[in-house]
């Protein structure tokens, strides 16, 4: 039995609850042919009782032990709730051996933690499986609340209340951004989508021209932004200019403009102010159809991400086309959002 004094970025954890943890070494493989039978460092992480090794704490006191046992038992002491207990990850002190689990290490101490997206676009899945339904997406710098961490997938809650699974390697504890990107921008090693949230240091590190970023607080009008995305592909669950679904399109434009609205079309319909008839609509209102939403441009024209044309496109509701007639016959509501009312409605519906 080995005693480990657990030191975290939050300070030293005082002994209150002890746990015996067993970690199998079968998931480890040599990364170098020069590896000798090494000593291994035991680094402590924290999990949610799912039986899997999870996150490694980066700055800890550690102890050495032989790498040879198939199972290593470690005694730790935590002041956390017994359901949130420490787990050991074994890695070679000189990194000759490493877990087959990849991704940046960060700490999680049994409480919900705010993290940020660290890739251009991250899919949010209905299950911890990349083959499951994509229910939404987040872009670089957007915030999530980690509900339940995992090795490959973590259960997160988005700002709009959507809960789903994201690949754990795509989220990290990062500085609060102060800028937002006004266009689809290629950069060093990646392409940032419209609306990405950036820090000053990230703008410099990725050599993003200053003319393409503005303060997050800068307001825009969603309808004035919409036409620049004509032709962007339709993508179920999409919320970026790599691909939008109908409500992901409206939400992205409103969010960039400083107005937070719900994620799905029916939620947007229910949260918006009822304007009345289509004849009462003004430019910038949202037209809600059965299972669909579009932005009103005036004179019967709308812009929307739609599966009919598989892209963001214009539609004239009065042109007599069969598709236009279908939409007209399925209008459920004309809704309106303003900055103050949208925030109030969203918080009420959470």
| CATH, residue 293 | 3.90.1720.10
CA distance 87 to 26: 16
Task: Please report whether residue 69 resides in a domain.
Answer: yes
Same domain membership, residue 143 and residue 91? no
Same domain membership, residue 239 and residue 320? yes
Q: Which of 99, 132, 164 is the last residue of a domain?
A: 99
Same domain membership, residue 342 and residue 234? yes
Q: Which of 40, 74, 99 is the last residue of a domain?
A: 99
CA distance 62 to 107: 15
Task: Please report whether residue 197 resides in a domain.
Answer: no
Task: Please report whether residue 192 resides in a domain.
Answer: no
* Model pTM above 0.95: no
Same domain membership, residue 156 and residue 39? no
pLDDT tens per residue across all 350 residues of the chain = 233 333 333 333 333 333 333 333 333 333 333 333 332 333 333 332 333 333 333 333 332 222 222 333 333 333 332 223 233 333 322 232 223 322 222 233 334 468 999 999 999 999 999 999 999 999 999 999 999 999 899 999 999 999 999 999 999 988 999 999 999 999 988 999 999 999 999 999 999 999 999 999 999 999 999 999 999 999 999 999 999 999 999 999 999 999 999 999 999 999 999 999 999 999 999 999 999 999 999 999 999 999 999 999 999 999 999 999 999 999 999 999 986 544 444 433 33
Task: Please report whether residue 194 resides in a domain.
Answer: no
CA distance 170 to 149: 12
| pLDDT value of position 18 | 35
* CATH code at position 118: 2.30.30.40
Q: Which of 77, 99, 121 is the last residue of a domain?
A: 99
Same domain membership, residue 123 and residue 88? no
Task: Please report whether residue 135 resides in a domain.
Answer: yes
Scanning 3-102, the segments in alpha helix (DSSP H) are none
Same domain membership, residue 333 and residue 236? yes
Residue 301: count other Cβ atoms within 10 Å of its Cβ. 16
**Phi (first) and psi of residue 218, to 5 degrees:** -65, 130
Same domain membership, residue 68 and residue 29? yes
The boundaries of the domain holding residue 142 are 113-172
Which residues have a Cβ under 8 Å from the Cβ of 288 and sit 6 or more positions away?
Answer: 265, 268, 269, 272, 331, 332, 333, 334, 335
Task: Please report whether residue 180 resides in a domain.
Answer: no
| pLDDT value of position 262 | 97
Same domain membership, residue 137 and residue 71? no
Same domain membership, residue 137 and residue 59? no
Task: Please report whether residue 208 resides in a domain.
Answer: no
Tens digits of residue pLDDT in 168-194: 999 998 899 999 999 999 998 899 999
| pLDDT value of position 340 | 52
Closest CA to 137 of 279, 239, 66: 239
Same domain membership, residue 240 and residue 327? yes
Same domain membership, residue 142 and residue 41? no
**Domains in the chain: how many in total?**
3
Same domain membership, residue 226 and residue 257? yes
Task: Please report whether residue 23 resides in a domain.
Answer: yes
């Amino acid at each position: 039995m080995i005693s480990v004094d657990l030191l975290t970025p939050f300070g030293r954890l005082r002994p209150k609850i002890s746990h015996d943890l067993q970690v199998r070494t079968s998931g480890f493989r040599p990364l170098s042919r020069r590896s000798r039978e090494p000593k291994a460092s035991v680094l402590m992480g924290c999990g949610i009782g799912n039986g899997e090794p999870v996150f490694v704490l980066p700055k800890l006191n550690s102890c050495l032990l032989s790498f040879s046992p198939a199972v290593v038992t470690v005694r730790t002491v935590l002041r956390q709730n017994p359901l949130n207990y420490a787990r050991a990850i074994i890695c070679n002190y000189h990194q000759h051996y490493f877990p087959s689990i990849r991704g940046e290490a960060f700490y999680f101490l049994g409480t919900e933690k705010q993290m940020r997206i660290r890739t251009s676009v991250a899919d949010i899945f209905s299950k911890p499986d990349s083959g499951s339904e994509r229910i939404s997406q987040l872009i670089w710098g957007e915030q999530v609340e980690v509900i339940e961490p995992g090795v490959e997938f973590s259960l997160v809650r988005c700002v709009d209340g959507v809960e789903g699974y994201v690949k754990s390697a795509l989220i990290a504890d990062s500085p609060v951004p102060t800028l937002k990107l006004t266009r689809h921008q290629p950069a060093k090693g990646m392409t940032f989508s419209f609306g990405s949230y950036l820090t000053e240091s990230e703008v410099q590190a990725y050599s993003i021209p200053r003319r393409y970023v503005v303060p997050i607080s800068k307001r825009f009008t969603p309808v004035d932004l919409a036409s620049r995305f004509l032709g962007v592909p339709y993508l179920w669950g999409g919320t970026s200019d790599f691909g939008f679904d109908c409500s992901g399109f409206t939400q992205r434009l409103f969010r960039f403009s400083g107005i937070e609205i719900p994620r799905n079309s029916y939620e947007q319909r229910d949260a918006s102010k009822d304007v009345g008839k289509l004849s009462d609509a003004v430019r910038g209102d949202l037209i809600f159809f059965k299972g669909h939403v579009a932005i009103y441009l005036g004179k019967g024209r709308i812009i929307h991400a739609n599966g009919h044309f598989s892209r963001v496109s214009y539609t004239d509701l009065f042109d007599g086309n069969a598709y236009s007639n279908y939409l007209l016959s399925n209008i459920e509501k004309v809704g309106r959002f303003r900055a103050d009312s949208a925030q109030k409605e969203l918080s009420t519906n959470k």
